[in-house]
Amino acid sequence: MPGTSLLGTTNAAAMLAVRDLETARRFYQDTLGLTQVDAHGDEVIVFRSGDTLINVYRSQFAGTNQATALTWSIRDQLDDVIASLRQKGVAFEHYDMPDMTREGDVYRCGDMRAAWFKDPDGNILSVVSG
């Protein structure tokens, strides 16, 4: 039966590969405002975002994913979050998005609005409302 297995009732954590943990710590903590809740030597830093744990770990494969790695659903605060990130030096990405229109840095598809940006290692992150 779907949803009744152990994995269907257990929290999952995001995994993001980075080259330099200190640079990643500054970005995720200082720029994005996440709370560091744990660290495992010089290999992993664990951040909390809402009820989600994000494991940022050192890897030679950092930034090689060419798709969105992590998305925050922020409902009606998209414009405020984008403005805050811009003030902290975050640059937003522009992509060729079929069936979406772009208004500045924000893409729209019906009621959904979204913007994409990268961390210092090139991991693609997004914020979405709607």
Q: Is the dihedral of CA 15, 83, 79, 51 positive or negative?
A: positive
What was the pLDDT predicted at 9? 80
**What tens digit of pLDDT does each residue of 12-69 get?**
899 999 999 999 999 999 999 999 999 998 899 999 999 899 999 999 999 899 999 9
The DSSP code sequence of 58-90 is E-TTTT---SEEEEEE-GGGHHHHHHHHHHTTP
What was the pLDDT predicted at 10? 80
- This prediction has a pTM of 0.90
Q: Which two tokens mark 75?
A: 């409902």
Which CATH number applies to 7-129: 2.40.50.140, 3.40.50.150, 3.10.180.10, 1.10.3470.10? Answer: 3.10.180.10
Reference 73, options 129, 13, 11; nearest CA is 129
Compute the distance between CA of residue 130 and CA of residue 123 in angstroms, rounded to an integer: 23
pLDDT band at residue 110 using 50, 70 and 90 as cut-offs: very high
Per-domain boundaries in the chain: 7-129
